[in-house]
Structure 1
Amino acid sequence: MHISSKFRIYYQNFRGLKTKTKEIRLSSMTSCFDIIIGTETWLDDSVHDKELLSNKYNVYRRDRSSTSTSGKTGGGVLFAVSKNICSKRVEHFESSMEDLWVSVKCEGQESKEILFCVLYLPPPVSSASLDLMLENISHVMQSHAGDIIILGDFNLGFIDWKRDTSDILALTPCNYNCNLGRNFVDFMSFNSLSQFNYVKNHNNRILDLVLSTCEDISIEESIKPLSKIDLHHPALDIDLKLNKRLLTIRKQFASYNFRKADYTLVNAKLCQIDWELELSPFKDVDMAVAKFYDILEIIIQSTVPKTKPRNLKYPSWFTRNLIKLFAERNKILKRYKLYKNPRDQLELQLSNDRVESLTASCYRKHILSTEESVLKNPKKFWSFVKDHRGESSDLPREMFLNNKTANTGEDICNLFASQFASVYSPHDQGRIPYPADCFPQFC
């Protein structure tokens, strides 16, 4: 049976992130968005990806320095997606302008791939720059069969957007009687794109557009922005509803902690094994290897302890009170979005203030504790850096073998299997000699 699910997306024109990294990073830690999208990031190589947002996100970005846009500063786009969602950047779709393409995959009993494009057109928008961007998007859409969502600052504020009826989410363009306007509306019509953002700025204009081939996109002005708002660009809360089968929940299982293994006992158990006796009955090499692995597995189970993975949903410095307050805030937010009750709105504002205040307090204590511990143990400094950057030993997002690309754990393992199979040479499958000193290093 199908159920209704959705992506919770946040969009903001940040008007610079360099001076707001701490503010936005802390805000993102208590947010419940699946995807965070930003334009006008004004970033460069001096800012690391992990400094920008919570470690629960994979961050993709394109700074102005990698484009042909005139001007060394300003511009830039960013796309951050939860690590629970499979995603990859699609660089060969990108033009010489300021656009970033990311493919997001919903995996479960049914799979669905959605292509996102984040773009920024600096003012004043010329016919040449607009045509170049639209031509590239049209070319991508001709080669992509799935749904597509295009978000960004188009700076086409002269176009008015009207909603024909209250039950239709998409808006109709008006007042576009110029070359820029006609070209843009023709582009939308040719590619079957609809525009969904109705939130106007203080000048009663809409500069940030949300175009999509999807039909069920609802947008509201953000109740709790991640950062200070630019009057020209209201922040947006976007719900993308997906009619798909229930997603499979990836459970975290306990794993072996080889750092705490009793290797003295491991060596003793290995020395007690008569390998000639155990393996000589097998004339097939695959069966012999399977028996070898079975023996090792028994030894590992008896000598290596298991540990449960740490819950990475919240940073280590989050207190129980903060987590509880955060959960209560989310309940109020859901209730307010459902009923639009003014009392819920007031309660939500108070809850947001409490979450923000307690988060700042907990973070200050975390910094002070780190500073004190560094004096006693300098290694704590590098632990802080690794935690801040979210460094871990997880599988990389993507791996490549020849012309094949893998971006899930299973597919990456299959690439390794293909490589091993290509270099494997089967030996004579007759009786296998087992020298008495085949494991001298363990004894």
Structure 2
Amino acid sequence: MTHRTLGRTAASTMEALDPPATVEPLQPAFTSRPGPVCRSGEGVFQIDTNGNQSRHSNLQIYYQNAGGMNSVIEDYLVASSDECFDIIALTETWLGDSTLSVQAFGANYDVFRTDRSSRNSLKATGGGVLVAIHRRLKAQLIDDTLGVCVEQVWVRIKLAGYALFLCVVYLPPDRTRDSTLIDSHTESLERISA
């Protein structure tokens, strides 16, 4: 699988298809708008699906450490209404039961999320992960009972001829050396890939 990356979120194993695109500055009125913005290089990358010429030949994926969505939930709704991205992955959403996913992504995305809880964290607030998949893609939540102590969500996305497995995971800074947390995530990865 070949990847084209923009911004600083590229993994070292990704291979560039083209030179990095120019990042266009946002209009001044939107400089503080959170969430996915079309043509923004920060956190944006494409997956070229091996030359497949179907409508899914290039998935537009956006990643962001949100640092809290509750106070700006309407801004995420406006940003996602552009529908520039097939997949939106967010960490540190800080969402809870009182916030509906449709408040941030409208009706055009299926949203799969794991909010922080006493099962996956020692803290009561913060954390949380989500992945929003545009409804033109077929996505399914993978129930991972092994990873209940980890703030992660696994999704299977059916594409032409194969499936893409996607995990969004948040490892809090105070738990990066927590062997139980790392082992649980690793076990869930092994279980999903088996």
Give the CA deviation at 1:62.
0.8
CA offsets 1:275-328 (integer angstroms, 9 cap, x no match) = xxxxxxxxxxxxxxxxxxxxxxxxxxxxxxxxxxxxxxxxxxxxxxxxxxxxxx
Cross-structure match for 1:354: none
* Cα distance in 2 between the residues matched to 1:65 and 1:89: 19
Corresponding residue for 1:27? 79
Relative distance call for 1:93 and 1:87 in structure 2 (3 A) is farther
Q: Are positions 1:90 and 2:156 aligned together?
A: no
Aligned-partner Cα distance in 1 for 2:58–2:129: 23
Measure, in 2, the Cα distance between the counterparts of 1:29 and 1:68. Answer: 31
Contact 2:147–2:187 (Cα < 8 Å) also in 1: no
CA contact (8 A) 1:67 1:98 kept: no
* Aligned residue number for residue 105 of structure 1: 158
SS of 1:10's partner is strand
Q: What code does the residue aligned with 2:135 have?
A: K
CA distance in 1, matches of 2:118, 2:72: 22
Aligned to 1:8: 60
Which of structures 1 and 2 has the bigger CA Rg?
1
Aligned CA distance change for structure 1 residues 19 and 130 (closer, same or farther; 3 Å): same
Whole-Å Cα distance in 2 between the matches of residues 23 and 52 of structure 1? 8
Deviations, residues 227-286 of structure 1 (Å, cap 9, x unaligned):
xxxxxxxxxxxxxxxxxxxxxxxxxxxxxxxxxxxxxxxxxxxxxxxxxxxxxxxxxxxx
CA contact (8 A) 2:144 2:188 kept: no
Aligned ranges 1:21-420 → 2 under 5 Å: 21-65=73-117, 67-92=119-144, 95-96=147-148, 97-107=150-160, 111-124=161-174, 125-128=176-179, 129-141=181-193, 143=194
2:120 is matched by which residue type in structure 1?
Answer: S
Whole-Å Cα distance in 2 between the matches of residues 7 and 46 of structure 1? 31
TM-score, length basis structure 2: 0.66
How many angstroms apart in 2 are the aligned matches of 1:3 and 1:103?
A: 19
Does the CA contact (< 8 Å) of 2:146 and 2:187 recur in 1? no
Q: Which runs of 5+ in 2 are unaligned?
A: 1-50
Aligned to 1:431: none
TM-score normalized by structure 1? 0.30
Task: Give the aligned partner of residue 179 of structure 1.
Answer: none
8 A contact 1:94–1:100 mirrored in 2: no
SS in 1 for 2:173: coil
> Do 1:95 and 1:133's aligned partners in 2 also have CA atoms closer than 8 Å?
yes
**Helix, strand or coil: the match of 1:92?**
coil
* Residues 93, 101 of structure 1: 8 Å contact kept: no
% identical aligned pairs: 33
Give CA-to-partner distance per residue, 1:193-233, whole Å, 9 cap, x none: xxxxxxxxxxxxxxxxxxxxxxxxxxxxxxxxxxxxxxxxx
Structure 1 residues not aligned, in runs of 5+ = 144-443
Give the conservation status (yes or no) of the 8 Å contact 1:105–1:112. yes
| 1:99 Cα deviation after fit | 1.0
Q: Name the Cα RMSD after superposition.
A: 1.7
Higher helix share: 1
> 1:94 deviation in Å?
5.3
1:156-197, CA deviations, whole angstroms, 9 ceiling, x for partnerless residues? xxxxxxxxxxxxxxxxxxxxxxxxxxxxxxxxxxxxxxxxxx
Contact 2:90 2:130 in 1 (8 A): yes
Aligned pair count reads 138
CA distance in 2, matches of 1:37, 1:121: 15
Per the TM alignment, residue 140 of structure 1 is displaced from its structure 2 partner at its CA by: 2.4
Task: Work out whether residues 146 and 184 of structure 2, in 8 Å CA contact, stay in contact via their aligned partners in 1.
Answer: no
Higher strand proportion (structure 1 or 2): 2
In structure 2, distance between residues paired with 1:59 and 1:79: 6
Question: Once the 2 structures are TM-superposed, how far is the Cα of residue 40 of structure 1 from its aligned partner?
Answer: 0.4
